[in-house]
Amino acid sequence: MSLRWGSGSKSGEVQTDEWDSEEEEEKESGGGYMVPKEGGPALRGYPQQPSFLNLEDAASGEDPLLQRSLSAPAGYATYHRRCQYHGIRPDPSVAICLYALHPVVKVSRLAQDLDLIPIVETLKTPAVAQFAREIDLSGLNLGSISALLVAEMVQSCSFLRVLLLGRNALRDEGASMIIAALKGNRELSKIDLRSNRISSAGALKIARLLQEKDVGRALNEVVFVNNHMMQQGVDAISEVCESRKIAVYLDGNLVMAEVLNSLTHGTGLVAAIIAGASMIEEADSRALPLQLYRSIVIFCVSLCCMFASSCFYHSFFRGAKGAKEILKVMDHCSIFLLIAGTYTPILLKFIWSPEHPHSLVGPTLFYLVWGLALVGITMSARLFGKYTPSRKVRAGLALIMGWLIIFSIRLLWQRMPPRCLLLLSLGGVAYTTGVPFYVKGQEVSMYHVVWHISVMIGAALHYLTVLNYVVRPGLEY
């Protein structure tokens, strides 16, 4: 920077020529920094282009590039003017959306709080209101300070229909501020706040705000997936959204319950792999009939599949939607596979076996159970179209399959050792006891943990039944 006495300055007044040295450097390097018309500082890294702060030059024809820029959409020009005024580089994605008059305005890079100021100012102009309907601020790491600007945008931009704020760092205060701003917006129909940091306290505050009828009058969909609302917050928001007929998505908020679900069936998976391998090895060493040996392999594989699919599904409760859906289908299908897999060695040993007189009960039960298992798997995998069976339907079908064994109770009483029948029955009772907790698990997350424990108990009892009375023949007690 050089110092010089200005010809028109008062005596003793120092006038600074701040930009002489920088302009000389830029000329030598071949680059260029724009100097705003009003004398403000140039923007580092901002390419040379016409200033929108003073458009009178266009009338004289001195700047052809500026004349051409006047034909650009008003929203685009306004955005560039506001960026220059605040000394902020324009976001390329926002600029393109405004230039193309696109209904979705998306911010493409991590935004600092100040970056939102020219965007909000531009969105408030009538020119943008003519075409913009959706604002995408996803994945920008916005915090509570940024929520002030977002709330102002929601209040003043009444034309907005969709607001996407997923994958940010909004906490209770910021999220509540944005929801409260819906009081001044009668057009917004969807707000997405997935993967933020909203706790149960924040969820309760949001629920109280949504109870006010003038907050989000047009709202018909809210997304709070993958926050930290816990059971209390999930229940509060679910209740108010149900009363207002608002579709709400709350997956991934029950962290503690999902961790326990993963741990329980993760433990079961490790035990099933070790115990299953041991059982198959022992069955092989005892030279059991091939058909019976295969039935034991089927039982062990179905046990491992059930624990594995359940463990992975609950472990990735915050995973990608597509992967989570696949794991969910596998989890639901594996229940039917396990029931049929448990039946197989029992039927082939005690009912449909060359050791006993021929009876139609054995093959009838075998094919009926596996047929129902295929029906359950087909429904759960949505192979019948878009229809997805409810928890009650799946639980009902599983109970029917599990207790079909009652129709062979006379044969079992005659052919099974008493303790074998007792273990088999206790296993069925353990599974059945857990079913009500499974059905209610969607309302109270910890109930699903109880269901997992009952499944582990039932599986352990049936494992002992197969090991001691199918793999190890000869036990009469």
What percentage of the chain exceeds 70 in pLDDT? 83
How high is the pLDDT of residue 35? 36
pLDDT at 30 over 50: no
Question: In terms of C-beta density within 10 A (0-12 exposed, 13-18 middle, 19 or more buried), how is residue 4 classed?
Answer: exposed
How high is the pLDDT of residue 201? 95
Question: Is-contact 426 461, C-beta < 8 A?
Answer: yes
What average pLDDT does the structure give for the chain?
Answer: 84
How high is the pLDDT of residue 241? 94
Question: Is-contact 437 452, C-beta < 8 A?
Answer: no
Which of 354, 340, 377 shows the shortest CA–CA distance to 462? 340
Measured CA angle at 188 (ends 107, 241), to 5 deg: 115
pLDDT band at 476 (very low <50, low <70, confident <90, very high): low
pLDDT at 28 over 60: no
Q: What is the pLDDT of residues 210-229, one digit of tens each?
A: 999 889 889 999 999 999 99
Q: What is the pLDDT of residues 275-315, one digit of tens each?
A: 999 999 999 999 899 999 999 999 999 999 999 999 999 99
Q: Kindly state the average pLDDT of the residues 262-270.
A: 97
Q: What is the pLDDT of residues 126-154, one digit of tens each?
A: 999 989 999 999 999 898 889 999 999 99
How far is it, in rounded angstroms, from Cα 430 to Cα 447? 15
For the record, the structure tokens of 39 come out as 């004398």
pLDDT at 394 over 70: yes
Task: Provide CB contacts within 8 A for 465, sequence distance 6+.
Answer: 346, 420, 423, 424, 427
How high is the pLDDT of residue 107? 92
Question: Is-contact 264 456, C-beta < 8 A?
Answer: yes
How high is the pLDDT of residue 294? 96
How high is the pLDDT of residue 435? 95
- Bridge partners (DSSP) listed for residue 2: 17
- Bridge partners (DSSP) listed for residue 16: 3
Q: Kindly state the average pLDDT of the residues 47-53.
A: 42
pLDDT at 207 over 80: yes
How far is it, in rounded angstroms, from Cα 353 to Cα 181? 72
Residue with tokens 């596996």: 370
pLDDT band at 324 (very low <50, low <70, confident <90, very high): confident
Measured CA angle at 384 (ends 381, 387), to 5 deg: 80
- pTM of the model as a whole: 0.71
Question: In terms of C-beta density within 10 A (0-12 exposed, 13-18 middle, 19 or more buried), how is residue 162 classed?
Answer: middle
Question: Is-contact 114 141, C-beta < 8 A?
Answer: no
Of residues 33 and 150, which shows the higher confidence score? 150
pLDDT band at 45 (very low <50, low <70, confident <90, very high): very low
Measured CA angle at 415 (ends 412, 420), to 5 deg: 70
In this structure, the number of other CB atoms found within 10 A of the CB of residue 236 comes to 20
pLDDT band at 108 (very low <50, low <70, confident <90, very high): confident
How high is the pLDDT of residue 475? 59
How high is the pLDDT of residue 385? 64
Q: What is the pLDDT of residues 161-180, one digit of tens each?
A: 999 999 999 999 999 999 99
Left, alpha or beta for 248 (phi > 0: left; psi -120 to 50: alpha)?
beta
User: Hey, what amino acid is at 70?
Assistant: L
How high is the pLDDT of residue 193? 97
Of residues 386 and 259, which shows the higher confidence score? 259
CA 139 vs CA 45, 76, 164, 227, 288: distances in Å: 24, 23, 10, 14, 59
pLDDT at 399 over 90: yes
Q: Is 452 annotated as a binding residue?
A: yes
Structural domains for the chain: 70-249 (3.80.10.10), 255-471 (1.20.1070)
CA 290 vs CA 300, 346, 350, 377: distances in Å: 15, 15, 16, 27
